[in-house]
Chain A
Amino acid sequence: MPPKFIGGIFFTNFMDLLIFKAPILMVQASMDGILLGILFALIAYGMALQWGVMNIINIAQGELVIMGGYVAYFMYVIGIHPAFGVIVSPIIMYFVGVGLYKLVINKVVDRDLFISILATFGISILTQQLMNFIFGADVVVAQSNFGTTMLFDNSVTLPNSKIFSALVSVIVAIVLVIYMKKSKLGRAIRATAQNSRAAKILGVDTEKVYAATFGINAALCGVAGSLIAITFTLHPYVGLPYTVRSFMIVIVAGLGNLPGVAISGMGLGVFEEFADYLLGTEFRIGAVFLLLVLILVYRRFKLSRKREYLK
């Protein structure tokens, strides 16, 4: 087999896409991307929540997602329909999150940011390996048997599981927004995010709020993970890309900007699907990571004109 080069792969795929499959693939990739992006946005919303409240960047975010996915997969293995994982997984993950907070995170909350990054990186390696031991290193998927929907004379296929996952994500996001606006805990969380000292003075138990925030984040990851289990595949070592995706969405959209998070999540999803078709699947994750580097460097140059920097 003659060696292929990146340029060659890019060119052949590109021509193929442009000439033969253009309109159909465009629609297909965009639909896939948008449905996928809504899921990313859900994970990113969790990250934005705990970043804004606790000022921590959680590298283990992706591992929480995968862990939530394995809960759904476990249900599938013992014979329960994996879609119920959407209800069970967040409950389990909430307690995992709170436990993680009590064990490690509470010791890094008001320390240097790098310490929290490195500590959560350690947690990420740890959980990857634990999942590897428990569930094995194989790629698994929890079949949902939802069937597929055909659009435009059967030229565009959409698995119903993807539509289901997008719908669930939207519902969860709406419920969460209402909860954050109306409930007592939601108010306490928002107050702590604005000024933790003042909140403490006014009688908010910030320690409890932090624990709850981390738990809610983990629960969101649980929902997203169980949706990923039925729509895509699970593997112990694919957590980090989810962390990077959610980090990217948050820095593009900003903290506490839900429409922004949703739109940039969908944008990222569409970008990924197109990168997948144009460059080939082997470069998909690489493209995501490079996109993050490019976004950060672009913003750095934009800010440096005003003699400011990303902080």
Chain B
Amino acid sequence: MKKILLYSVLLIFGLVAPFLFPAFKLQISFLWILIILAMTWDVQGGQMGYNTFGNILFFGIGMYLCAGIQIGMFFPLAEWTVSGGEKTFVHTPTQYFQGFFVGLVAAGIIPAIVAGLIGYGILGLRGHYFAICTLALGIAAGEIAGGIELIGAGQGMTSPPWPKNIGDTELRSEFFYYICFVLMIATFVFLRWAYTTRFGLVLNAIRDNEDKAEAMGIYTMRYKIIGWVVSAFFVGMAGGLMGNMVGYIEPTEVAFAGPTFGVFMILMAILGGKGTLWGPVIGATVFHLFKEGFWTFFLGWQYVALGVLIVVIVVFFPEGIMGWLREKYPEKFGEVIDEADRKAQVELK
């Protein structure tokens, strides 16, 4: 009962937020995107124990793909990027929405296929080899995208602007707000369901001891690939949305942005507590509030602050907010502690 109340309050908040805080519509949409990124990172990093730096690859692929399809369905893509986009070609509202939805679906499906194809090779690596391999993959993608002139090379490309004759920018941000919100809810509900099934149990078994899981007769590779495909699907769609919201796609700063979104997603999941359902959501919210609230005070020192933040969180606070709460109020998490036994163990140490 309490849970239903909590969920409905959050849901109603999400639905009315753009009218409560009209000035922060875009910021809250970014928050939903960040929550999606943190939750999907947690499928690998938290639940499966595979610390990936490479989910940003799917983010960038989704972004380029969505914008590319939106443009390419109606106009020649090469001329669009050369001419700087919207000056020469104008989408009608029907064209815009057709392109947007086709692009968004493709931005989910094709990164998922890519994840499935490369998954067999890359998910066979473990530990730090996996981490560095995925890090290299994300950066290689950014470098290669920066060399392809069809999608604007290093200068980047613009995504199609909102059609002028159907409403102002307020309507635009409301539209993107609700799409982001729906995608976030879909990700949350899907993962919440998936963690209760056998799939979730297998992911946790892989994290705890992959060799043993394999010895128990689980074909772990299949589950690892499925996990990555799920992540890639949602991250790709988030990327497609992000490209449209920002309006401008640049290979290393926006699309394959390893030092920003690529690290943010890891940081948010760790800050909130990895391996939990709510951890990434809380972590993303706290991180985003902190970032938006204090970012402007740093005056160009933002990335220095980010570096310090990473080191501090990772070194001194690796269990995250949820882990800390769990330590503090174990009974709320359904854990029963035998005080006498605990005392004995502390004395033993």
By a beta-carbon cutoff of 8 Å, the part of chain A in contact with chain B is: 1-6, 57, 104, 107-108, 111, 113-115, 117-119, 121-130, 133, 240, 244, 247, 251, 280, 282-283, 285-286, 289-290, 292-293, 296-297, 300-301, 304, 309-311
Contacts and interface: CB of A to CB of B under 8 A. Distances in A.
B90 interface: no
A68 to B, nearest CB: 19
Nearest to A60: B307
Nearest to B124: A300
Given A1-B82, A6-B148, A121-B263, A301 B121 contact: yes
Contacts of A124: 307
B219 to A, nearest CB: 14
Contact of B51 (A114, A128, A292, A300): A114
Contact of A3 (B131, B149, B306, B308): B149
A280 B311 contact: no
A126 B315 contact: no
A300 B121 contact: yes
Given A289-B140, A310-B127, 7 more contacts: A3-B81, A111-B318, A115-B315, A117-B131, A127-B307, A133-B300, A293-B136
Contacts, number: 145
Contact of B307 (A6, A129, A251): A129
A288 to B, nearest CB: 8
Interface in B114-139: 121-122, 124-129, 131-133, 135-137, 139
A108 B128 contact: no
Contacts of A251: 129
Contact of B310 (A5, A118, A283, A309): A118
Given A289-B137, A296-B133, A311 B127 contact: yes
A71 B106 CA distance: 49
B75 interface: no
Contacts of A296: 122, 125, 129, 132-133
B245 interface: no
B125 A282 contact: no
Contact of B259 (A113, A125, A311): A125
Nearest to B211: A309
